[in-house]
Amino acid sequence: MRRRPSDAAAKKRKRLVPDSLAELRRDLAVAYRIVATEGILDAFGHISVRNPENPQRYFLSRSRAPSLVQANDILEYDLDSNPIVPPKERPYSERVIHGEIFKARPDVNAVCHHHAPSIMPYAISGMPLLPVFHLGASMGASAPIWDSRDEFGDTNLLVVKPEEGASLARALGDASIVVMRRHGATVVGGSLRELVFRTIYSAKNAEHQMAAHVLGNVSPLTAGEAQMAFEIHRAPGPLARAYEYWVRRLAEREGRGKSDPMLRAAEAAARQPNPGASTGKTASGAKKTGAKKKSRGRR
Ligand code: MN
């Protein structure tokens, strides 16, 4: 019996990719499954990561539901979102979201596009999403809104043309999240871990903002609070602590034992003293220096 084409393609990719990138593909696949486990991605939505060895390329899964994505589903694209190796599998139609943002934002190394239930009321109503609690400040001080109608009129809402992706990237500007009218949101990060954290906590922020709206008197963080809380929640310590928690929840969902290498690596990373301590990025250090880092803060 002939081997299925998908197996052959996966084997071929495996041969071409050095170990360091194999690890990145595995991390990317885990990020897909974490963000799905946390209820943000369902059958749709996707996450990409820039190739650290060639910033003009990025990795993205083949067209597949995020909770099912494995390392051998990951394809590589140039920034015009053309595949590096002609894929035998179907790509995501909305991959230009990733390529155009990587083009426009050299500081961004990971992108998540989703239609989370918590974000949709903002995408539908146009009500501004604001940081309303400390962890929610990881979304940045504000979330610009992009409306496909402004430049493109009636479409099927999918972002599939390069000019649509570029328009979205312009709306994102130097922010960390852009809300897409009647569609969803796109979140960016300097690393995969930062992106996962920001994606999950911006969605929680959206939930809390709406719940508080029922009571009234919604009072967002001040610009100064938003800036300081943004900085502290991108430090390595909090990222490692949250990542261990999410990896454990994923492992439980997938029925992996405690000896699972992915889980053990996350546990070991979280146990280390704060790797940021020596660079002044401790809790108190971030508070003292946060206000001076404005130029980096929105990213
Ligand atoms: Mn979409």
Q: Would you say residue 61 has pLDDT above 90?
A: yes
Q: Which residue has the tokens 């050095």?
A: 18
Q: What is the DSSP letter of 205?
A: H
Cα dihedral sign for 31, 32, 37, 41?
A: positive
**What whole-number distance in Å separates Cα of residue 27 and Cα of residue 192?**
8
Instruction: For the chain, list the domains and their CATH numbers.
Output: 19-271 (3.40.225.10)
pTM of the model: 0.86
Residues 6+ positions from 240 with CB-CB distance below 8 Å:
193, 266, 269, 270, 272, 275
Q: Looking at the annotation, which residues are catalytic?
A: 94
Q: Would you say residue 4 has pLDDT above 70?
A: no
- Predicted local distance difference test score (pLDDT) of residue 230: 97
**What whole-number distance in Å separates Cα of residue 16 and Cα of residue 13?**
5
Distance 270 CA to ligand 1 centre (A): 33
Distance 236 CA to ligand 1 centre (A): 30
Distance 215 CA to ligand 1 centre (A): 31
* Residue-wise pLDDT tens digits, 33-59: 999 999 999 999 999 999 999 999 999
Distance 76 CA to ligand 1 centre (A): 20
* Residue-wise pLDDT tens digits, 122-177: 999 999 999 999 999 999 999 999 999 999 999 999 999 999 999 999 999 999 99
Q: Which residue has the tokens 């609690």?
A: 133
Q: How far is CA 57 from the centre of its chain?
A: 17
**What whole-number distance in Å separates Cα of residue 231 and Cα of residue 225?**
10
Distance 115 CA to ligand 1 centre (A): 6
Residues 6+ positions from 268 with CB-CB distance below 8 Å:
none
Helices and strands counted in the chain (H then E)? 12, 7
Q: Would you say residue 3 has pLDDT above 80?
A: no
* Residue-wise pLDDT tens digits, 196-229: 999 999 999 999 999 999 999 999 999 999 999 9
Residues 6+ positions from 194 with CB-CB distance below 8 Å:
110, 234, 239
Decide: 87 and 8 in contact? Cβ < 8 Å: no
Q: Please give the mean pLDDT across all residues of the chain.
A: 89
Strand partners, 59: 49, 76
- Predicted local distance difference test score (pLDDT) of residue 292: 39
Distance 182 CA to ligand 1 centre (A): 10
Distance 264 CA to ligand 1 centre (A): 34
**What whole-number distance in Å separates Cα of residue 57 and Cα of residue 55?**
5
Distance 41 CA to ligand 1 centre (A): 10
Distance 276 CA to ligand 1 centre (A): 35
Higher-confidence residue of 23 and 283: namely 23
Distance 137 CA to ligand 1 centre (A): 24
Decide: 99 and 186 in contact? Cβ < 8 Å: no
**What whole-number distance in Å separates Cα of residue 85 and Cα of residue 172?**
29
Cα dihedral sign for 26, 27, 31, 37?
A: positive
* Residue-wise pLDDT tens digits, 154-166: 999 999 999 999 9
- Predicted local distance difference test score (pLDDT) of residue 297: 39
**What whole-number distance in Å separates Cα of residue 23 and Cα of residue 289?**
34
Distance 180 CA to ligand 1 centre (A): 9
